[in-house]
Structure 1
Amino acid sequence: MATVLVAYATRGGTAHDIAEAVADVARDAGHDVTVADLRDKPHARADLVVVGSGVNAGSWYPEAVAWLARHTDTLRGTKVALFNACLNAADPAKREDSLAYNKVGVDRVGAVSSEAFAGRYVPHRVGWFRRVFLKTMQQQPQDHLDLDRVRAWAQGLLAQL
């Protein structure tokens, strides 16, 4: 049995839902799993650390970037996997762009895996400012999250333990 930390930064809940799906797969495999919001500044010690963030204007949320920076030394000796949740990942032509959002983290901690999952925009789950911004961008409500794809990725991560 391994210890697994699944940590996330979210605004609309998508990264949280992805984190919970990853955690469920790890728990079902018998691992000791902690799921944590990065705003709570969780510890970084585990056999596998999975860190994810929503994306705003092409960047991870500040608390995710700050957490990775604060724990870089600890994470360098650990298996780390990174993910993001973004609407761009729903478009296969934008896959490379979507994966590039993880680059700052991959470069910092030498991640063993990096993934981008198509997200969702549900107006009532985001703050007022973000709703206004997305309305200005003529963004319509949408949900592309594929939890089966998330679970398959998580299975692959566990195979590395």
Structure 2
Amino acid sequence: MTVLAIETSCDETAVAILRDRRLLASEVASQVREHEKFGGVVPEVAARNHLVQLPQLLERAVARAEIELGELDAFAATSGPGLASSLLVGNSAAKALAIGAGKPFLAINHLEGHLLSPFFAEDRRPRLSRQTAVPAVETDRQARRPSAVTGETPVFRAHRPGGPSVQI
């Protein structure tokens, strides 16, 4: 399954393309400098910057992945938590692409995305902890490890209202 994912929960705009558990492309645009002058993130400024950055990132990600939009099986976007106006930009773009392509839209929880991101890599599988055989989440030391993990790479299941569940 090939998925185009959009992340706009705060002040960074990101587009990734994944095939099964392999990362084909990842493009990120930061707004840190834009918000420094305000002393923090201004939600409406962030949302407007997402509108500017997203089309360019989509083009670059598709080119880097060397695929056509018609090859995508689903479109995903961060559904929350995050800044409402920023989330609206990413969700609207992903839903429009999904509707236009006649493909499913997957709403992704921002926190689950952080926890699962180490399991999606270009050329590596997650390292297992020798003591517990639980996948080590080294990028986020605050993350809690699930208690019922068997050592296998987790499967992400998305449910569509009125449609089948999709496993990634």
Q: Rg: which structure is higher? A: 2
Same fold by TM-score greater than 0.5: no
TM range (shorter): 0.3 to 0.5
Greater helix share, 1 or 2? Answer: 1
TM-score by length of structure 1 reads 0.36
TM-score of the two chains, using structure 2 as the length reference: 0.35
